[in-house]
Structure 1
Amino acid sequence: MSAEKPPIPSVWARRRQRRDQPALSQDRIVSEAVRLLDEEGMDALSMRGLGARLGAGATSLYRHVANKDELIELVVDEVYGEVRVPDADGGPDAWRAAVAECAHSLRSMILRHPWVASVLGQVGLIELGPNLTRQSERMLALFQAAGFAPDEADQAISALIAYVVGMTVNEAAYLSMLARSGRTEQEMAEELRAAAQQAAPGHPLLEAWRNDDPRQIRERKFVYGLDRLLDGLQTRLGPAGT
């Protein structure tokens, strides 16, 4: 007889037990963990530190969350609940605006919670979380309503998410660095512009580009890449989206 296989290491694959402990619930633990991560980043997250913030020992947390990996699964799914995915009732002609809205919402979520970019795809079966499952179902419905076959809809979603996450990781890292420096984005841009002019003079095209508002530069870059991605997906549907 073969040995019994170990359970899948994921909070979503483990049978949950209800516990009557109103002072400390899983929802409260997750909410406080998100606040800690937003304020101090992933390096600051520990079961002991989180327990201290909640006025409880780490042992009390383990009654609701088995370990740090499970906690990360829970907080990732929690913030994914903030992403807006429009209804798939606009027909094939409205798919592009709806997908763009979804992409912008995902980008905004990551910029609000920059720590999330560092753990996507690295912890457990996060795709089994209720928020991420619901968002994935809605996105599949959106792409299939546009005219994509089910298997290609899944691939199109993967391409979209990869683009958004890839672009936003750099933004999130930059904004986190700004927060640590105590400078505003405009102040940092002005300092970098002055340093660049001294270090590498005689590049008028670059100098003209650096005079733009840094926030608008980030936005334009994201929109440009998103539009080109959607252009490519549009070719799979035909010129009229049919």
Structure 2
Amino acid sequence: MAAKGQPYPSVWARPERRRREQPALSREQIVAEALAILDAEGLEALSMRKLGTRLNAGATSMYSHVTNKDELIELVLDEVYGEIRIPLPEGPDGWREAARSSAHAVRAAVLRHPWMASVLGDIALASLGPNVLRMSEDMLTLFETSGFTPEHAGTAMNTLIAFVMGGTLSEAAWLAGLARSDQDEEQWMARMMPAAEAAVLPYPRVRRQFDALKETGSEQSRGSEFDLGLDVLLDGLALLRTPAAG
């Protein structure tokens, strides 16, 4: 909910509070500790009270930067987006490799922080932060300097991000579930295998997919499917380039 005088419910839209004196904590300290809790224990473990205890800070120091948990999550999400680097294409035909590197950078950031799967459904949490806006600007630059019109550059960026997030958030949710169960993928697969093998017996096409997964392993299979889907997507995006771009 937006604070009084705030046009939009976002930490980035809220006027910065005037401080009579230097607060004991910086925003960077708060965000770093919140990110550490999220990575180690998941979204459910994060609370303003727990964060204050970890930082040995009182409410005044905390709330001079964030008013609630939603604002805190906004700040941490933007910190994660700051890990992502979008390369410029090398030469007129380098857009494809640059786009591929960008997709892998976004995927890697989400998988490093699997708790993101629980919050990225709320677009307001990640739309106004400086790092996500910088990432968007860099990705539009990638496409616009590679023969895409501004309109098609926007389409290409949105399509690429939708593809990456669509698959990767499912991966992240899977990894977060594994972490809560205190099992790794091999342990989980070993426990699930007898029941799964019996369940897929009447379905020959599903069974072939399942047998292939057993051969390659879950992690390798996810990576291969991502790469194949990305190739197909980039083939389609190539059709949006202007004829002069080749």
TM-score, normalised with respect to structure 2: 0.87
User: Partners of 1:67 and 1:76 in 2: how far apart?
Assistant: 15
Distance 1:92 1:117 in 2: 35
Question: 163-172 or 208-217: which moved more?
Answer: 208-217
Indicate the residue corresponding to 1:15 in structure 2.
15
Q: Quick one: which of 221, 235, 244 aligns to 1:231?
A: 235
Identity %: 52
Q: 1:237 to 1:38 in 2, by over 3 A?
A: same
Quickly say closer, same or farther: Cα 1:140–1:207, change in 2 above 3 A.
closer
Instruction: For residue 191 of structure 1, report the CA deviation from its aligned partner.
Output: 2.9
1:104-143 alpha-carbon deviations (Å, 9 max, x no partner): 0100100111122322252646332121121111111001
The runs of 5 or more residues in structure 1 that have no matched partner are none
Question: Superposition pairs for residues 107-186 of structure 1, below 5 Å?
Answer: 107-120=107-120, 122=122, 124=124, 126-186=126-186
Shift of 1:54: 0.9
Deviations 1:196-231 (A, max 9, x none): 223443746245312222111010111111111111
Using the TM superposition, name which of 123-132 and 149-158 deviates more. 123-132
Counterpart code for 1:35: A
Aligned residue in 2 for 1:87: 88
Deviation at 1:53, TM superposition (A): 1.3
What secondary structure is seen at the aligned counterpart in 1 of 2:127? helix
In the TM superposition, 1:47-86 aligns within 5 A as 47-86=48-87
- Per-residue deviation, 1:145: 1.1
Taking the aligned partners of 2:167 and 2:189, their CA distance within structure 1 comes to 19
Which AA in structure 2 matches 1:8? Answer: Y
| Amino acid of the structure 2 residue aligned with 1:205 | R
Which amino acid counterpart does residue 234 of structure 1 have in structure 2? A
CA RMSD of aligned residues (A): 2.4
Conserved in 2, the CA contact under 8 Å of 1:12 and 1:125? Answer: no
Cα distance change of structure 1 residues 33 and 97 upon mapping to structure 2, 3 Å threshold: same
> Structure 1 residues 103-112 or 152-161, which shifts more?
152-161
Residues 179, 6 of structure 1: CA spacing in aligned structure 2 closer, same or farther, 3 A cutoff?
closer
Q: Aligned residues, how many?
A: 238
CA distance in 1, matches of 2:191, 2:227: 26
Please state how far the C-alpha of 1:22 moved relative to its aligned partner: 6.2
Per-residue Cα deviation, 1:69-119 (whole angstroms, up to 9, x for no partner) = 22111111000001121024x233000110110100100100111122322
2:97 is aligned to 97
Structure 1: how far apart are the matches of 2:62 and 2:75? 13
Q: Which moved more, 1:37-46 or 1:93-102?
A: 37-46
The residue type paired with residue 231 of structure 2 is: D
Q: Secondary structure at the match of 1:11?
A: coil
Contact 1:72 1:123 in 2 (8 A): no
Cα offset, 1:190, TM superposition: 3.0
Q: Distance in 1 between matches of 2:149 and 2:156?
A: 10
Q: Which amino acid aligns with 1:109?
A: A
